[in-house]
Structure 1
Amino acid sequence: MDEDLAWIAFASRDRDADGRFVVAVHTTRIYCRPSCPARRPARCNVTFYKQAADARAAGYRSCRRCLPDAVARDATAVAHAATLLARDGAVPLARLAQAVGYAPHHFQRLFKRATGVTPAAYARALRSNRAVAALAAENSVTDAIYAAGHDAPSRFYAADAPRLGMAPSVWRHGGEGETIRWTMVATGLGPLLVATTTRGLCRIALHEDGTTLAARFPGATITPGDAALQDLARRIVTLVERPPRGDLPPEIRDTAFQEAIWQALTTTPPGETRSYAELVATAGGTD
C-alpha cells in the first residue's frame, strides 16, 4: 500500500477508496472508511490497514459513524451480482439489485464504484468473453454465436464482432493473414497486453504477452507495436485511474478492469474527432 496516496484519499474523503483500506486513529482507537465525514486527525496519528480485520486485530474498534465493516457487505453484494451475471447473462438492474438487497440506483453506483464499470457493461464483457471462447471451440461461426448466448446473428455482429479486430471467421482460424501489433503496460493488477490490427483492437488481457498472443493467433504475423501504441496504452491506464477493489475475487477484478480499459480505448473523449479504436489502428501502423 502506498501510504502517501492513502493519506491523500483519506484527507479528501475519497469514496472510491472505501474498501481498499481502513484508517486507524491512534487517539480514539477506532478505524474508519477513507470517506468518513469525521474531522481529520493529524497524519502522525493514523495507521493504514488493508483489511478491517487487521485493524481489529491491532486493538481498534469500528467507527459508528461511517460503519467501515459495512463495506464488506457491499463487496459481498457486488461479488454475488457478478456471479449472477455470469450465470444468467444480462439481468435487468432492478432484478439484480433486488437479488442482493439494494435499491437499483444505489446498487448501480455501488457496483461501478467497486469495479469501475456498470453491471450492464460487466455483463457485456462476460458475453464477449463467451463469444471469444465459443469461436475457438465451436465448428462454425454460427454455432459460436448461439453458444455465446445470442438469440440472433445480428446481435453478435452488432455487439461482439467489432471487438475482434478481424472477421469472426479469421479469428476462428487463428488470425490467418492478419498482422497484429502489441504492447505491454504496467497496471495495479499486473501487466496488461494491448493488441491491435489495422481494424482496431483485437485483444486486451491481463497476464498475457506476445508469446500467449502468438499461441492464440498462430496464423497471424505478431509484431511489437511502436512507441505511439505504448504511449496510448499508458495514457488509457492512467485515464481509468485505479483498478477494482482488492477484496473482490480475482476473476471479477480482471474482467471488470479489462472492460474499463476497453471502454476507455473505444470511447471518443470530449474534443476528440477520432475514436480510440482508430487511434489504436494508427498507432499500430498499416499493412
Structure 2
Amino acid sequence: MIDAEIAWAAVQRRDRSFDGRFVTGVLTTGIYCRPSCAARHPARENVRFFVDGPTARAAGLRACLRCKPDEVGRDQQALAKAVAMLDADDAPGLEELAAAVGYAPHHFHRLFKRATGVTPAAYIRAKRGKRAEAALVNNDRVTDAIYDAGFSGPSRFYAETKGRLGMTPSAWKNGGAGVMIRWTIAETSLGPMLVAATDKGICRLSFDEDESELHRRFPRASIEPADPAMAELVAGAVEAVERPDRMPDLPLDVAGTAFQQAVWAELRRIPVGETRSYADIAAAVGKPAAVRAAGSANGANNVAVLIPCHRVIRTDGSLGGYAYGLERKQALLDREKAR
C-alpha cells in the first residue's frame, strides 16, 4: 500500500530515500519517474502512484528518460553486491569494486555514499574498527589484535580509528581502563536525567539511571562526579529537553557500526516537531528491507534526545517502543510539536 500524502511529500522534496519504494505516474505526459526525479513537478491532480515500473507500464505509462526509474533495481543489486565484497576479509579498492558491479568509479562512489551515508573507504574503515574491537577483547596483546583485524600495522590502526572507538585500543581491551567519565543527575520536567561525558563529549544521556549504569557499561573506567567544566554540557542537555527548538550542537562520544552511525545520522536530520517511521529510516540509509535492523540501531542509541530516537514511530502511527517509557516519548513529541 502507498500512502499518497507521504509519497507526494517525498516527490516534492525529491527524496532519494524513497527511490525504489514507488514510482510517480504523470497522466498528462504518460511517463513515470523516480520520487527524486529532477524534472519540474507536475500538478498534484495529474499524479498517480504505482508500486513499481511494471505496474505503471501496465497502466499505459512509459519510463522517464531523465531519471530512468527502472534502473533503481539495478542500483540496489549493485549496492548489495558491493557491500558483500566490502564485508570480505580482502576488501577491494574503489576501481575494482566499481568494475565488479558495472559502474564507473566516480558514479558508483556517489551512489554508494548516497545510499549508505558513507564512502566505500569509510565503510571499510568502520568494518576494520569493529573487527579490531572484537580482536582487542579476544587477544592478550594489542599488537596481535591490530594485525588480526586486518590492519597493516599499529600506525594505520591508530590513524583510522582515531576518535571512533572513543578510547585507546588498550583502554578498549581493558573495559575502559584509563578513561575518565564524569557524570551528574540533572533535574528536568520529564524526570531525573543522567548526563555522562568523557573529554571528547557526552557518552551517555538517559532517564531514570544513576552511576551504577556507568559502572556496568564501563567497568574499568574512572567514574567521577561532574566538575565545573562539565556545566555547559549539562545545561545544553537540559535545554535540549526543555526547549527542543533551541537544541544546542553538543559534542558526543559515541561509536557504532557503519549502519548504526548512518541510522543515528538520519535521526539527527529529523526536524523538530516531525516524526519518521522505522521503514522511512531504513529507506533513508539505503536499506529499505532492513526495517528490523533500523529498529535495533535506533534502540542501541546511548544518547537520548540529542540523537532523537523518540522521533521514530511505527508505520501505523503508533508510538512503538522507547527505553524510557511511552509516556515520556509522547511528552517529548508533544512539546516538540508545540514548538
* TM-score normalised to structure 2 length: 0.55
Change (3 A) 1:34 1:158: same
The one-letter code matched in structure 2 to 1:123 is I
Q: Displacement, 1:149?
A: 0.7
Q: Matches of 1:60 and 1:172 in 2, distance apart? A: 62
Counterpart of 2:52 in structure 1: which amino acid? A
State whether residues 82 and 252 of structure 1, in contact with CA within 8 Å, keep that contact through their aligned partners in structure 2.
no
Return the alpha-carbon distance in structure 2 between the equivalents of residues 149 and 201 of structure 1: 30
- Is the contact made by 1:166 and 1:199 (CA closer than 8 Å) also made in structure 2? no
**Residue number among 179, 182, 187 corresponding to 2:181 in the alignment:** 179
Q: How far, CA to CA, are the matches of 1:196 and 1:19 in structure 2?
A: 41
Task: Tell me the distance in 1 between the aligned counterparts of 2:137 and 2:119.
Answer: 28
SS in 2 for 1:69: helix
- 1:63 corresponds to which residue? 63
Question: 1:113-124 counterparts in 2 under 5 A?
Answer: 113-124=114-125
Q: Which residue of 2 aligns with 1:247?
A: 288
- Partner Cα distance (1:11, 1:109) in 2: 22
Name the CA distance, whole Å, in 2 between partners of 1:222 and 1:3.
53
How many Å separate the matches in 1 of 2:81 and 2:196? 31
1:52 match = 52
User: Which residue of structure 2 aligns with residue 143 of structure 1?
Assistant: 144
171-180 or 37-46: which moved more?
Answer: 37-46
CA contact (8 A) 2:17 2:285 kept: no
Q: Closer, same or farther in 2 for the Cα pair 1:212/1:41, shift >3 Å?
A: farther
Q: Which residue of 2 aligns with 1:105?
A: 106
State whether residues 147 and 153 of structure 2, in contact with CA within 8 Å, keep that contact through their aligned partners in structure 1.
Answer: yes
* Aligned partner letter, 1:81: A
* 2:53 and 2:70 in contact (8 A); partners too: no
- Letter of the 2:236 partner, please give it: A
**Counterpart amino acid of 2:8?**
W
SS of the aligned residue for 1:102 comes to coil
* 1:153-172 alignment, distance < 5 Å: 153-172=154-173
Q: Is the 8 A contact 1:175 1:218 kept in 2?
A: yes
Counterpart CA distance in 1 for 2:30 and 2:53 is 14
Which structure 1 residue ranges, 5 or more long, are not aligned? 183-193, 204-209, 258-287
Q: Which residue of 2 aligns with 1:268?
A: none
Aligned to 2:128: 127
Match in the other structure for 1:74: 75
Q: Work out the CA distance in 1 between the residues paired with 2:132 and 2:56.
A: 45
Q: Deviations over 1:40-94 (max 9, x none)?
A: 3322443556x52795699676625343221011011112111111104552211
Q: Could you tell me how far apart the structure 1 residues matched to 2:72 and 2:182 are?
A: 42
Q: Tell me, what secondary structure is at the counterpart of 2:69? A: coil
1:199-238 to structure 2, matched below 5 A, reads: 199-200=200-201, 216-220=217-221, 221=223, 226=234, 228-229=236-237, 231=247, 232=249, 237-238=267-268
**1:30 deviation in Å?**
5.8
Q: 1:3-22 maps to which residues of 2 (within 5 A)?
A: 6-11=7-12, 13-15=14-16, 17-22=18-23
Encode CA deviations 1:180-237: one digit per residue, 9 max, x unaligned: 769xxxxxxxxxxx9852145779xxxxxx9997655333449998463564369965
Structure 1 residues 110 and 133, CA gap change in structure 2 (3 angstroms): same
Provide the secondary structure at the position in 2 that maps to 1:109: helix
C-alpha contact 1:115 1:244 (8 A) present in aligned 2: yes
**Residues of 1 paired with 2:98 and 2:77: CA distance?**
13
Q: Aligned partners of 2:86, 2:12: CA distance in 1, in Å?
A: 36
**Max Rg structure:** 2
Residue 179 of structure 1: SS of its match in structure 2? strand
Gap runs ≥5 in structure 2: 185-194, 205-210, 227-232, 241-246, 253-263, 272-280, 299-339
